């Protein structure tokens, strides 16, 4: 085998053989295939695609590059969730303890935010003392004692994907659906969960801007999970408007706790329950009622135990940004549009996100919304509040919010977009 022949096969719209795929993934992981060669192959895949057989083998090769976790010692079935990322997407925080309270175990390996999309680990690290980095033994212990764990993936899990992901990020090949699907699914399958629910976001604040592309990605990932023996289902969910009323780390933790306490924004509660039902059904615990577990406090109990088991103090005050700036409504009427992408960029510019993986984030920074599409607003009344420790960032964030919302005449009818758009299984 040699890298050039593999590149030429895909460049010329051929099908990569299993032997070619196994070799190139292994050789790239070991450093035998150079970055420039793998970037050429990634670009050929972006332009010419892969069939289901190729994607399945590519995913298997990335799984084989590292370790596989095993949760067979647990007394309950496992279910996991993955979101493709959005603005205000704090769903993992209430979802994991909720599903655990209903009888499934949730081994949730999560990531950090990059750009305008937030990261679950960054949000949880705003809780004093909470640790994202756990050994495999610690992860299994927390999972066994609390029913849920949210932590960072170890270096031994699909190392080929970690290396390839960084390369795609700087070579204009992030958008390749076969590589997106195999990247997500190699980690989730190697994680060892028995079932998986995918939350594929669609809209301005999502990676997939239209339903067609989101459907293709979701179908590809569901197929990969099925091919590898993991019961997998996907929901396409709306990300044209931010989820909930907050975008930012500590702000989103606060809102998640409100959901666990039986309150919180309606769209966050709706999506949390929809995903919980899918996870419980996939894990074979479909007779449990997640709405009851929210109402009776059992999900909150799991949350508190889970946070404490990872060193966090569930009773500690969350960080608050030192400075605030209020954005007011420009007219009276009905808010008909609030662009998720622009709100996400504003939160990122305020310090809630990062441009590079090594950048720090501000725990208290972000955007707090006071209205959502369909709400009546009054000219001069607060529409959103910007939070940051560095007030010199306000102007930069405000520029991203220009044209981010529309206000129609009072009484204008507004048809809300459903939170869940489609189900793919």
How far is residue 349 from each of residues 114, 208, 297, 388, measured CA to CA in Å? Answer: 12, 22, 36, 9
* Diameter over CA atoms, the chain: 68
Block residue for tokens 């390996």? 109
* Contact call for residues 384 and 344 (beta carbons, < 8 A): no
Retrieve residue 165's tokens.
């992901």
Sheet holding 195-202, edge to edge: 80-83, 195-202, 231-238, 420-424
Distance of CA 155 to the CA centre of its chain: 19
Does the annotation count 35 as an active-site position?
no
Does the annotation count 161 as an active-site position?
yes
The catalytic residue among 168, 215, 305, 349 is: 168
Does the annotation count 187 as an active-site position?
yes
| 258-286 burial: b if 16+ Cβ within 10 Å, else e | bbbeeebbebbbebbbbbbbbbbbbbebe
Distance of CA 238 to the CA centre of its chain: 13
* Contact call for residues 146 and 314 (beta carbons, < 8 A): no
Question: Whole-angstrom Cα distance, residue 322 to residue 362?
Answer: 11
The catalytic residue among 10, 112, 163, 187 is: 187
* Contact call for residues 113 and 353 (beta carbons, < 8 A): yes
The catalytic residue among 10, 57, 82, 393 is: 82
Does the annotation count 370 as an active-site position?
no
Indicate the DSSP class of residue 13: T
Phi, psi of 195 (to 5 degrees): -145, 155
* Contact call for residues 79 and 196 (beta carbons, < 8 A): yes
Sequence-distant (6+) residues with CB within 8 A of 262 are 294, 295, 297
The catalytic residue among 80, 89, 122, 161 is: 161
Q: Would you name the residues annotated as active-site residues?
A: 82, 161, 168, 183, 187
């Amino acid at each position: 085998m040699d890298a050039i022949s593999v590149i030429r096969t895909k460049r010329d719209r051929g099908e990569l053989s299993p032997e070619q795929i196994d070799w190139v993934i292994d050789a790239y992981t070991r450093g035998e295939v150079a970055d420039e060669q793998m970037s050429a192959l990634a670009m050929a895949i972006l332009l010419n695609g892969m069939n289901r057989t190729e994607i399945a083998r590519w995913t298997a090769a990335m799984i084989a590059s590292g370790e596989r976790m095993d949760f067979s010692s647990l007394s309950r079935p496992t279910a996991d969730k993955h979101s493709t990322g959005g603005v205000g997407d704090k769903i993992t925080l209430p979802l994991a303890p909720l599903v655990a309270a209903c009888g499934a175990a949730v081994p949730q390996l999560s990531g950090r935010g990059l750009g305008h999309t937030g990261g679950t680990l960054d949000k949880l690290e705003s809780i004093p003392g909470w640790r994202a980095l756990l050994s495999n033994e610690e992860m299994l212990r927390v999972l066994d004692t609390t029913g849920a764990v949210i932590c960072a993936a170890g270096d031994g899990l699909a190392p080929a994907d970690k290396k390839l992901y960084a390369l795609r990020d700087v070579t204009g090949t992030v958008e390749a659906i076969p590589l997106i699907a195999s990247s997500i699914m190699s980690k989730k399958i190697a994680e060892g969960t028995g079932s998986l629910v995918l939350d594929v976001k669609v809209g301005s604040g999502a990676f997939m801007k239209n339903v067609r592309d989101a459907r293709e990605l979701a179908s590809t990932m569901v197929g990969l999970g099925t091919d590898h023996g993991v019961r997998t289902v996907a929901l396409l969910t709306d990300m044209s408007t931010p989820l909930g009323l907050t975008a930012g780390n500590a702000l989103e933790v606060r809102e998640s706790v409100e959901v666990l306490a039986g309150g919180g924004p309606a769209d966050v509660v709706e999506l949390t329950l929809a995903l919980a039902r899918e996870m419980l059904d996939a894990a074979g615990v479909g007779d449990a009622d997640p709405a009851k577990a929210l109402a009776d406090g059992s999900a909150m109990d799991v949350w508190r135990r889970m946070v404490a088991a990872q060193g966090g103090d569930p009773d500690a005050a969350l960080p608050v940004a030192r400075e605030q700036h209020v954005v007011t409504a420009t007219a009276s009427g009905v808010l008909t549009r609030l662009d998720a992408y622009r709100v996400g960029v504003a939160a990122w510019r305020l310090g809630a996100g990062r441009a590079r993986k090594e950048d720090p984030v501000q725990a208290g920074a972000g955007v707090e919304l006071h209205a959502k599409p369909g709400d009546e607003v009054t000219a001069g009344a607060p529409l959103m509040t910007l939070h940051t420790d560095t007030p010199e960032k306000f102007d930069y964030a405000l520029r991203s919010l220009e044209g981010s919302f529309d206000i129609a005449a009072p009484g204008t009818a507004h048809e809300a977009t459903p939170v869940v758009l489609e189900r793919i299984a």
